[in-house]
Structure 1
């Protein structure tokens, strides 16, 4: 279930938000004046989100250091779109 709270709850009901984020391992979406403004998540959730990306970037850095082959922006975006379409 998605948890949406006003940003004022961050100040006034921090412990409730912390419990949702940490103990329930669920992100909390914060709103300001009725519009989404940010998402709070636990460090574990953040790591799970970022680690695969960081790993792929490390692989790309290693590959780039081992070859002189470079692609233009349009080539990169075309290749990404092709991979997305084939999945």
Structure 2
């Protein structure tokens, strides 16, 4: 279940909310006038999420290559890597 706090709670209890974000590595949703306004998370959680997005992007590129038959045999790829290392 998501953690939801008001903007007043963020202003008045910043340290408590910051501690929560660092301890649980999940965002706290901040409301303003009863409506969702922000998602606050620790830098570590943000970087981890960004790293996952980058990984998912690379996996998608690979899946697209497979779908478009843009592949080569494993032995050819290894030979190419070995020859580029020996230059």
TM-score of the pair, normalised by structure 1: 0.57
1:53, distance to aligned residue in structure 2 (A): 2.7
1:1-87 mapped onto 2 (5 Å cutoff): 1-55=1-55
Comparing 48-57 and 15-24, the one that deviates more = 48-57
Q: In the TM superposition, what whole-angstrom CA distance separates every residue of 1:5-38 from its partner, at most 9, and x where no partner exists?
A: 0011111111110111011222100000000001
Seen in structure 2, the aligned counterparts of structure 1 residues 47 and 7 have a Cα distance that, compared at 3 Å, is same
What is the RMSD of the two structures over their aligned residues, measured on CA atoms?
A: 2.7
Q: Which portions of structure 1, spanning 4 or more consecutive aligned residues, are displaced by more than 2 angstroms?
A: 52-60
CA distance in 2, matches of 1:52, 1:41: 15
The count of residues paired between Structure 1 and Structure 2 equals 65
Unaligned runs of 5+ in 1: 61-87
Unaligned runs of 5+ in 2: 62-87
